[in-house]
Amino acid sequence: MGETTIRLGNRGHPVTHQHLDGKVRDGRHHMQVRVYYEDTDFSGIVYHANYLRYMERGRTNHLRLMGAEQHALFAEAASEAPGFAFVVRSMTLDFLRPARMDDVLDVVTWPIAVKGASIMLAQEVRRGDEVLVKADVRVAFISGGKAQPIPKPLRDLLKADVV
């Protein structure tokens, strides 16, 4: 097994496992995913909606490895913006090539821009050097059902990683 990094969260549970959460290289988060039978459709290729799951995990683990443990972030942001949430505002996908059962995929995530109430991210799902899916994702920060400015500590953390 690879190197393991463990930090304890608010409830004493491990929050970061290097071998599970991926790693950040050159400002980009890389996370591996193996394709299982359950991920495929009747033709044996990855069902298109499963790429959304892989990318969601990539975005979550990207934040986690940047030190933005979600429980702590939520607690801090809740004081500034009660009832807040991150929501995917828009997503553009380009399916270039299929993945198949037993493929090991690399989900790559990186921020493009951090604005007042939204974050633009780029994501790719790769098999080796081959790009299978590309995505541009706009995530909005909302509170009380309306877009709100991203709290400064979180905005600063995300901007530090913009390449």
Which DSSP string do the residues of 69-101 spell out, in sequence order? -HHHHHHHHHHHSTTEEEEEEEEEEEE-S--BT
137-162 tens-digit pLDDT: 999 988 888 888 887 777 777 766 66
Q: What is the pTM of this model?
A: 0.79
Virtual torsion, Cα 49, 161, 113, 163, nearest 10 deg: -100
**Percent over 90 (pLDDT), the chain:** 48
Which residues, 6+ apart, have CB-to-CB distance to 14 below 8 Å? 6, 7, 8
pLDDT at 109 over 60: yes
Q: What is the pLDDT of residue 2?
A: 37
d(CA 20, CA 4): 9
Name the residue with higher pLDDT: 3 or 17: 17
Confidence of residue 7 (pLDDT cuts 50, 70, 90): very low
What class has domain 27-161? Answer: alpha beta
pLDDT at 44 over 70: yes
Query: Which are the catalytic amino acids?
Result: 41
pLDDT at 49 over 50: yes
Partners of 85 in beta bridges: 142
Task: Classify burial at 49, counting beta carbons within 10 Å of its beta carbon; exposed 0-12, middle 13-18, buried 19 or more.
Answer: exposed
Across the range 60-85, mean pLDDT stands at 68
Is residue 45 helix, strand or coil? strand
